Structure 1
Amino acid sequence: MTASHRPPSDPRHQIRVTVETEYLADQSDAASQRWVFAYHITILNEGTVSARLLTRHWVITDGEERVQEVHGEGVIGEQPHLAPGQSFRYTSGAVLETEVGSMRGSYQMIGEDGIHFDADIPAFTLAVPHALH
């Protein structure tokens, strides 16, 4: 069977991703240029079809515009299945060499109807408190 891709505007395949960030001062060390952040992700299926998260793609940019891309299966060792209206929440982290950076990306999903689609992860900022004016 051949899987097809549909634009994210398809109402059957609507995934909302929200992000909260947290600076982890106790794990960071400015002298070593190591700033550690946690991010808390909520993935909500607002569509009409159940979907499974297969893979992730992250683009991480630090304050010096250095970019790192991360590809991998699932999130935190899981490939969550989300029925319509269901959400999945997890926490992960990032280590930067600068006090400020950003992340964005996407989750590659498959609906129970066999259609592959991407769920965009909106860009968000990682920043030490008071680092941004």
Structure 2
Amino acid sequence: MVQKVTNDVNIVVETFYQEAHSNPIQSEYLFAYRITIENLGSVPVKLLRRYWHIVDSNGEIREVEGDGVVGQQPVIEPNHQYQYVSSCNLNSDMGKMSGIYTMLDLFTNKQIQVLIPEFLLIAPFKEN
């Protein structure tokens, strides 16, 4: 688990290797991640966009961006949190992700950037 606070928003990331949906013989590895977004500030924020920087151990780099997360643009009230689960496929058994959420401060109507801390995606058999 990793976490980072930026602009009064705490991001916590947990990862899970999805063995049942992976096929190492075909170089297909699926990882799930659960992200908790906690608003530590005094005003509501709305998650507008996400950007991901994904690197796997064979050197492949991907960038993914789009509106919201898992089809939603949640509003997170002060002292509340929003949690979602998503996944990432890799062509190798190790990789890492990091990113940025673009959020809207609903008091000032200004966009803020919230950093998603780098987290590792490692198949359990690589840890031995």
- Normalising by structure 1, report the TM-score: 0.88
Distance 2:63 2:10 in 1: 22
Q: Which amino acid aligns with 2:50?
A: R
Aligned residues: 123
Structure 1: gaps (5+ residues): 1-7
In structure 1, the residue matched to 2:27 is 33
Q: Which amino acid aligns with 1:43?
A: I
Q: 2:43 aligns with which of 39, 49, 60?
A: 49
Structure 2: gaps (5+ residues): none
TM superposition shift of 1:49: 1.3
In structure 1, the residue matched to 2:93 is 99
Q: Give RMSD over aligned pairs.
A: 1.3
Q: Summarize deviations over 1:104-127 as a string: whole Å, max 9, x none.
A: 001000101211111110000001
Percent identical? 34
Greater percentage in strand: 2
Q: 2:81 aligns with which of 83, 87, 111?
A: 87
Distance 1:132 1:36 in 2: 16
Q: Report SS of the residue matched to 2:109.
A: coil
* Moved beyond 6 Å, runs of 4+: none
- Normalising by structure 2, report the TM-score: 0.92
